Amino acid sequence: MLQQRLWKITYISIAAIIGILIALYGFLTFRLPSYNGRLESDKLLQPVDVYRDSYGMPHIHAANEHDAYLALGYAMAQDRMFQMDLFRRAANGRLSEVLGESTVRTDMLFRAITAPRPPDDIYASQPQEIKAALIAFSEGVNLALERESKPVEFLLLGYDPEPWKPQDSLAALYLMSWDLSPAFSHEVLYSLLKEKLGPRELAELFPEYVSGAPDILTGSTASLDGLKSAYEAHRTMEALFGTEDAGASNNWVVGPGRSATDGPVVANDMHL
| Burial class of residue 22 (count of CB atoms within 10 Å of its CB; 0-12, 13-18, 19+) | exposed
41 is a catalytic site residue: no
Structural element, H or E, at residue 138: helix 128-147
Cα angle: 200, vertex 202, 205; to 5 degrees:
115
- Considering the candidates 13, 177, 220, 249, report the single residue annotated as catalytic: 249
CA proximity to 84, closest of 130, 131, 153, 180 = 153
| Three-class SS state of 51 | strand
What is the C-alpha separation between 35 and 208, in angstroms, rounded? Answer: 49
Structural element, H or E, at residue 81: helix 65-91
How far does the chain reach from its first CA to its final CA, in angstroms?
64
- Catalytic residue positions? 249
